[in-house]
Structure 1
Amino acid sequence: MVLYFFLIIPFVSGVFGEVRYSIPEEMKQGSVIGNLARDLGLDITELGKRKARVVAEGSKQYCELSTETGSLLVSERMDREELCAQTAVCVVQFQLLLENPLKVYSLILEVQDINDNSPVFTNGQIELELVESTILGRRFPLESARDPDMGTNTIKHYRLSQNDHFVLEMNKQVNANAYPELVLKKALDRETQSDYYLTISGIDGGNPLRSGTASIHIHVLDANDNVPVFSQRIYKAFVAENSPPGTLVTKINATDLDDGVYGEVTYSFSHVSDKTRGVVEIDGVTGEVRVIGLMDYEDVNVHELDVQAKDGGGQSSHCKLIIDVIDLNDNSPVISVKSASSSVSEDSSPGTMVALLNVYDLDTGSSGRVTCHITDNVPFRLLSEVKNYFMLVTDDILDRETHAAFNITITAVDSGSPPLFSSKVIPITVSDVNDNAPVFSQELYTVNIPENRPQGTSVIRVTAEDKDFGSNAKIHYSLQLKSDPAATSFLSINSETGDIFTSHPFDYETASHFQVVVSACDMGNPPLCSTCTVRVFVSDQNDNAPVILYPVQSSSFIAEDRVPLAAPKGYLVTKVIAVDADAGHNAWLSYRIIKATEPELFSVGLHCGEIRTLRPFYEDDEVKQTLEVLVEDNGPESLSATATVSIALGDSLPVVDELSDFGEDESAPSNSNEDLVFYLIVALASVSGLLLVLISSVVYVKLCRRSFYRGGASNLPVFPPTYGGPPHYSDVSRWGTLDDDSRYNSFMTTGSWRGDFRFSTGGSVGSGGGVGGGSGIGIIDYDTMTKRSLPPLKNDSLVRLTTSSAASLKPKPRGRLSVPRKV
């Protein structure tokens, strides 16, 4: 085969994008046919990137492309006789496909014949019966040898073995096919020799020569001087493909003028090709040719047969039978997927190629014209720019969250009658991109949690969902520090579950409510985020005991209150002042005496803490009286504090009428109950007027509070800053230790017009530097209406109010006590 490589000649057509190569048959697998990249002017590096490949219609590929060198290589054995049995010029077509963008080049291989087949006689033994009276020069057609090769490689001449009676001459049929004839040159004499044994050889024109032989047995008979004569030299018939067995194709007729046995004619095929064998048969008596196998136009569209008619005397003649097969629409379109992507990104732009299809039909004419369509209501379409090739491309924006996968059914229909169709399903998965941000189930979460819960207490779980898939849907929760760093420090969050926990116990007195912003971000690239707001309301617990503000409780000093010995019943002696840092019911305070020097001498107001006399003083009463007052809050488990009140009886002190209770004794339960019942009856009877009273009261309280804050209090004693420490105590002295004073109201206490304490808004009262940054503590002398300074006290010391002379005491404005509004 090396001698035939000179036949590989490329022809490149730049106009039609076509490359033609001429190659010998039977080239070895891997042999180089030609360099396509060079002949087409292609860059070798682009072949791999653009998925360059050679494709052919049908099941066999025969050749392939080397993307490394750009060469076209033989991949399967090519037998010209198998590819083009009866065709002088054997051409095989291929296509070179390049993607992105799609480009198709036509490749034509002209397969040249080599002398790889020897001539063959169908019948290796030729039997002839000749009458001895056969005239000289009589010709006897012999069977031609068959050589599948073409051109010079086919049979060129025949040679007959040496003899004295016969010579070999060539004759031509109507179609110019040559066949040998045995010519009688010397008269036969059956009595001298009745049988002749000759050898005929068929020799081709190849290099080296190939030959085939057959034996000729000539039996000399008595006279039979007529041969069968066909009615036609060439019979031509038409038969539809896929005709059922038994279908009559044609009838051959030959006659012999001889009588008897010599006139009886029998029919047979003298030569049948491999593709025709088993397709048709001839009745040896009637000459009818019928279908016995599959008549397939796509396999063989023309059958050529040599028919022999032989009489009883052994003489025969030949004719040609040509059967044209009529094509029918018996082949469904073929859908071949040349390239396909299993998935496409949902952000792909319209027009993105998903699959490349080769659609063809083996039928001819209108039966071979194919149209394609795909499933309705899908965001894809078919696009064809090259004959028989279709691109499946996106036709709209894809959304994985709406439709994550498609099964695209591609249907190909030919134009035959009736039309045939075929379909193929191409599964396509839409791959996810991060195009959806997490969405919280609520934009605002509200939660109530008691104070003092331990660290790590679960507060609430926030949840968000992401419509994306995989890592794009995995959510990470976090607290936004920028929103409120102080509030964020109270909480921590589980980044995976969204559970929010306390970072440390809450203190209602420090912060009663706050809000944080929770961010949910997915794990996409770039990540998408959304936020929600969590409002936390801290509910108060009874965790603060009452704090005694007055009288000051100290181990080294206890303020002493003095009361005139002549004080009447109900005289205001002093007042226990206490506050509770809690709120609501937990801050409601009640007062009661638990221990006293004279148990029946003093009483304390249950809610106001005022200590009054229950009877006038007697001479035998102790001059020094000590009371222990228990102050309790109203919590579920009440907390308490004890105040020790020291009272001194003095003869020189004047009795101030304003400090006496001219009404009923508030400690008397019967009068209090009667008054309560009375007020309840009035309230129930005056429902319509209650609203007006409430509105007036609110206005009045607001005005009182405003006047209280704005009014001067320089003449009243002030509380040291030690007792401004707990949160939510009113800081009207501007020491800066309390929260917003708008949370507190002023209230009038029972008998407060007779002498009360109030917080000062000024700076220092005394001359000496006291506690609280320069504020001193002093007393008011009602005799001289002047302030006298006291020595600086400790932080837990308070001032007490004294009177020295009732005669010179002038009426003073009513005092107000500032207490927490919730009390």
Structure 2
Amino acid sequence: HTEQKYLLLDIFSVMCSDSHMHVKTPCSRISQSSVGSLRNGAAGFQRVKRGWVWNQFFVLEEYMGSDPQYVGKLHTDLDKGDSSVKYTLSGEGAGSIFTIDQTTGDIHALRSLDREEKPYYTLRAQAVDIDTNIPLEPESEFVIKVQDINDNEPKFLEGPYTASVPEMSPVGTYVTQVTATDADDPTYGNSARVVYSILHGQPYFSVDPKTGVIKTALPNMDREVKEEYQVLIQAKDMGGQLGGLAGTTIVNITLSDVNDNPPRFSKSFFHLRVPESSAVGSAVGRIKAHDLDIGRNAEVEYIIVPGDGGAMFDITTNEHNQEGIIILKRPLDYESKKAYTFKVEATNAHLDPRFQSFGAFKDTATVKINVLDVDEPPVFNKPSYVMDVYEDTPAGTIIGAVTAQDLDASAHSVFTWLYIVHHLLDRKATVQMFPRNSPVLTSRVAVTVHVLDINEFPPELASPYETFVCENSKVGQVIQVFSAKDQDLPSAGQQFSFRTSKEDIKNKNFTIRDFGNNTAGVVTKRSGFRRRLQEIYLLPVVIEDNGYPPKSSTGTLTIRVCGCELDGSLLTCSAEAIFLPVGLSTGALIAILLCIIILLVIVVLYVGLRRQKKKETLMSSKEDIRDNVIHYDDEGGGEEDTHAFDMGTLRNPKVVKENLFRRDIKPEMQRGPRPPASQDSSDIRDFINQRLKEHDTDNSAPPYDSLATYAYEGDGSVAESLSSIESLVVDFEEDYDYLSDWGPRFKTLAGIFGEQDRQAGMAEDK
């Protein structure tokens, strides 16, 4: 440092680049005389650089001297030494940190500098005429670097450290890495070159001097022996050499558990006692195998080794304390077996294959359980008793027995109770047994006495069946299925049988077939039934139940002969038979018959009133005789109506003889032409003309297909009746002279509609 300080007094460091900072390649040092000789060199040499050359200065950090620290000197070749040149300084720290002698160009640092606070300063210098302040050369920039010294120790910014490594790890297993930082300049000297070492923690761990990586140094470190380690790590600068600064940190290392220990029973034999009255599913004892591992590596599974007594018990693990809980699977009986012995095996639930080769990772212990005798209540030989007795059983009759036994070793007593009928007030009873030596212990059993019903009522047909047989029925055909009912209880268990009576066993027409499910059927024994020969058959049926004592009765089925289709569907029966669905009540049948009678009365009254009304209409008025000859109660037939009645005939008298009949109905007999009228009747002619005029001028007249009949029939009429009923036989000898004046149109009406009136009259007569 001293050499560098005085070197800057007379020598400038010349660099081979135009840049003033950070140039790597230095040139030779040039004195002031050398600079002058370069300026006055050989002919033809042209100076392209400024007269004073420099690049950067250095100042030592943490300077502790009493005088200002000399930094360097500025000089230009224009300075002749006659004090005509003045040097100025500007930039970072100019005037406050750095000062310059304006005459000599010497630069000094006024105070101590810290490189870690600011590593360099950039300043500008210029040479001016001292009298005119005119710059002699352009302003130039230079750098003053703070020269580093080793004044900062390495520091662990992230300490203290915590790390973990599995136990039983091999040597060289990575644990963690520590890092120390040094604030000194890493590019200058060894002030920031750090070396790591272990001050405390050997021989268990080691640290890499350059990287700070910590590894295991001792094989098979056992967590169960020692779990936690504290390691002291040092970081020293100057490459670890003497005089370097150092820093330390603590690393707390924990050995994590692995399953390297099997479970072990604290003893090889466990002796337990359990009362024989213990309930199935209850815990009868606890055992435990200890495991030095922790967490899931210490979880233990217990199993009972198959053998003597193992089937009576089961074992489970308590998740909280890893105890084995022995549970009773079957009831105990001191009198049958007094002790059970079996083995229990303990193993780890999560095995580590790396350590199974060390030995058996399980342990076995023997468990003996002694059954303790308990004074037990008597035991009935059945869980419940059921007895039956008929309701008319006389008092004093034995109906059953109940037996209990005390199984204790001290008394094997047997008790028996006989149930005797006293009075039947209740159908259930409860028996209690008290042992002779301990009346506190009791047993109870339910005894149910069923009072059976006496068969008092005979069975009968379930309903009145309306049975029919078709005339075309075949042999062996089931024509009716029926069942029976009984008033005795209970109805759910009743069983009925059906058969024909002994008197009717030779019946050649029908027989009874019992289906075995409380129903039976009527079966035909022949074919070819005829209503004309016999309409009704009576078939006796004997019905018998299964009660005590059995009852029977005889019912009669009425069978009617009916006409049927080929598929067996009913067509008709005799007039006396009314076939209705089976199951209708008598009231419903009567209501249906009343409705039929009322309908018949209404029809008869309607027909009579209709005939009387029609007759009165024809005869009530001699001035207004009008009727609709034809009435269709449906839509018109279009062209069919036109063909049925030729309307043009009414308006064209010339075609009367050509078209006198309906063209859509074939006449029953051929009609001949009527003779012309020879007589005249002025009354009739006037009447007809008047009616025609009224209808022709009446805008409210009926539509075109409604025809008004112009007829006049009175007392002593020569024409008599114009009804078609009397015109079935055409008499060509009759005299139609009274139609001579108006006859063409009237005869047309009579001819066209005569046939229809005749048919209508015949329908009413029917």
**TM-score normalised according to structure 1 size:** 0.32
**TM-score normalised according to structure 2 size:** 0.35
Higher strand share: 1
